[in-house]
Structure 1
Amino acid sequence: MTKLEEPDRRILIELQRDGRLSNAELSQRVGMSSSPCWRRVKRLEEDAVIVGYRASLSPSALGLGLIAFVSVKIGAHSDDEAEAFGRAVQNVPEIVACYSITGAADFLLQIVTADLESYAMLSAKVLRRLPGIKEMNSSLMLTEVKAFKGFPIQAGGVRS
């Protein structure tokens, strides 16, 4: 784990808010000159603290009106079975996230589709055919109460 100093935290807070900031704007916001700020950003990238820059997209604007969370139990609890399942989900674009979890299920999938009919078709023709599935339980999102906006970073001993 990379040791984060206070200037690193301030940089990360600002880049999570707006990944398109120019180095000049970023350095001004964090109270540093441009060169040291740029070097810190490069180090954070090299240390894989910053792993990419993306646009945050609206699912509904893309015609993706249904978000489902699917708990999956696999039949055999072998490494091969789990790895086969993990490889298979990589090939399903509607599965936007997959986590190996503790508890009653083995995996949790986050899935986006246009609507309930599209989800039903995906479930029947794709999800149920993924390797090793013993049981699936779907929960459909009604409303998004809190959207992911970034990871919590302590700056100056105060939450950002």
Structure 2
Amino acid sequence: MQLELDRFDHAILRVLAADGRVSATELARRIGLTKSPTQARMKRLEAAGVITGYGARLDPIRMGLAHVAFVEVKLSDTRESALQAFNRAVLAVPEVEECHMIASRFDYLLKVRTADIQDYRRVLGEKLSTLPFVASTSTHVAMESVKEARG
């Protein structure tokens, strides 16, 4: 069941998405409530799974991970057991930043982040191509990131 969110809940989520380290007092001030109801709302949002965690946003380029590739993956079998096997295996590949099942001429779209093209080639050959039921892949290399998700 989806939790009903009001304007204060949305305000809390906007502030936390921009600054997950904001204090409860400062958060309350920014959304126009006192600290106690703000904290109660945060706990409700956490308990309902709307807030799934808190973390730091990292700069992948400064971490030496400037190469981004989007990989179309076509499976040889799309029965439920094959999909489950692929899903479990892809979760274990740290270079895969995102994995989406797609309704298209291919089955999955992966966002893969590596240091450079040579590192990507290694990940493709040693990890992605060996995932269960992978029949073929097609790679699209990103030249520039114009907008990426931010919480």
Q: TM-score, normalised by structure 2?
A: 0.96
What count of residue pairs does the alignment treat as equivalent?
150
Aligned equivalents of 1:89, 1:147: Cα separation in 2: 21
1:6 is aligned to 2:10:
no
Q: Which residue of 1 aligns with 2:58?
A: 57
Aligned equivalents of 1:7, 1:16: Cα separation in 2: 14
C-alpha displacement of 1:11: 0.8
Aligned equivalents of 2:77, 2:93: Cα separation in 1: 22
Aligned equivalents of 1:13, 1:121: Cα separation in 2: 39
Q: Secondary structure at the match of 2:106?
A: coil
C-alpha displacement of 1:91: 1.3
Q: Secondary structure at the match of 1:61?
A: coil
C-alpha displacement of 1:97: 1.3
Please give the residue correspondences for 1:101-140 in structure 2 after superposition, counting only pairs within 5 Å: 101-140=102-141
Deviations 1:108-160 (A, max 9, x none): 1111111000111111121111110111111111101112124xxxxxxxxxx
Aligned equivalents of 1:37, 1:91: Cα separation in 2: 37
- Letter matched to residue 104 of structure 1: R
* RMSD between superposed Cα atoms in Å: 0.9
In structure 2, stretches of 5+ residues that fail to align are none
- Letter matched to residue 94 of structure 2: P
C-alpha displacement of 1:52: 0.7
Q: Which residue of 1 aligns with 2:98?
A: 97
